[in-house]
Amino acid sequence: MHGMIIRSIQCFLEDTYGRPVWEDVAKAAGLDPEGFEAMMPNRETRTPDVLSAASQHLGKPRETLLEDLGTYLVAHPAMQVVRRLLRFCGPDFHDFLYSLEELPERARLAVPDLELPVLDLREHDSGDYTLTVTHYVPGFGHVMVGMLRAMADDYGALVLLEHKGRAAACEIVSIRLAEPAFSAGRRFDLRLKAG
């Protein structure tokens, strides 16, 4: 799996729980705590080991941890870049949802060998959606739940999200957009503020 994915787990654990927690987790998973080179594709797939070790160390279910990771990637001040890149996808949450399908392509524009899950959005009734998350590594659905929750917050939308489980390589996330303009949300300025 791409170094960037394991690296994002490292940043999440360091920024949320502190450096020592990451060191313990890395050691328990048999990895060098000095970290990964984010720009290098890692041949070995150690992500599941890292997640199991973190889950055990923190006494949190894997699912919760992955959801927190998704939220962290959008909402944490250290991850402003990700939030901004996601906000470029659409002017409101509804458009953002529809742009999810092009997310792997957008990611590849930046990092050509990054393999993100295939995302497929279906709109049922107005405000009801199903997102299918397909990847050979399970868990991306939970990351998406956390990420979507944080993005909804960012857009000022009120959503109800539920992970419906995994079948074959597909995870199903149900999305209910209760109120597209629930709050003012955070402003998105196309200009990148210096610093």
Partner 1 sequence: MIPSVQGPAPDGAVVLDADAVDLFMPMSLTVAASGHIRHAGPTLAKLRPDAPMVGRRLLEVFEPRRPRGVGSFADLRAACGAPLVMAFRDQPRTAFKGHGQALPDGGMLINLSFGIGAVEALAAYDLTGADFAPTDLTVEMLYLVEANAAVQADLRRLTLRLDGAKSAAVEQAHSDTLTGLRNRRALDMALQRYAASREAFALMHLDLDRFKAVNDTRGHAAGDHVLQQVAAILREETREADTVARVGGDEFVLIFYRLTERRRLARIASRLLRRLSEPVEYDGARCEISGSIGIALSQDYPRPDPDRMLQDADAALYRSKRAGRARYAFAGEDATHRPDAGEPPARITPPS
Tell me if 177 sits within 8 A of 148, measured CB to CB: no
Number of shown-chain residues binding partner 1 (CB under 8 A)? 20
- Neighbouring-strand partners of residue 162: 174
Restricting to residues 156-195, which ones interact with partner 1 according to CB under 8 A?
Answer: 188-192
The order of strands in the sheet holding 158-167 is: 118-123, 128-134, 170-179, 158-167
Selection from 69, 78, 96 nearest residue 154 by Cα:
96
Of 21, 28, 58, 111, the one binding partner 1 (CB under 8 A) is 111
Q: Which is nearer to partner 1, 145 or 157 (CB)?
A: 157
178: enclosing H helix or E strand: strand 170-179
Q: Which is nearer to partner 1, 89 or 158 (CB)?
A: 89
Report if residue 109 touches partner 1, rule: CB under 8 A.
yes
Report if residue 37 touches partner 1, rule: CB under 8 A.
yes
Q: Which is nearer to partner 1, 90 or 138 (CB)?
A: 90
Of 20, 40, 41, 101, the one binding partner 1 (CB under 8 A) is 40
Q: Which is nearer to partner 1, 37 or 162 (CB)?
A: 37
Per-residue buried b or exposed e for 4-34, using 16+ beta carbons within 10 Å of the residue's own CB: bbbbbbbbbbbebeeeeebebbbeebebeee
Tell me if 47 sits within 8 A of 1, measured CB to CB: yes
What would the x/- binding string for partner 1 be over residues 48 to 87, using CB under 8 A?
Answer: ---------------------------------x--xx--
Give the rounded distance of the alpha carbon of 25 from its chain centre. 20
Q: Which residues bind partner 1 (CB under 8 A)?
A: 37-40, 81, 84-85, 88-91, 106, 109-111, 188-192
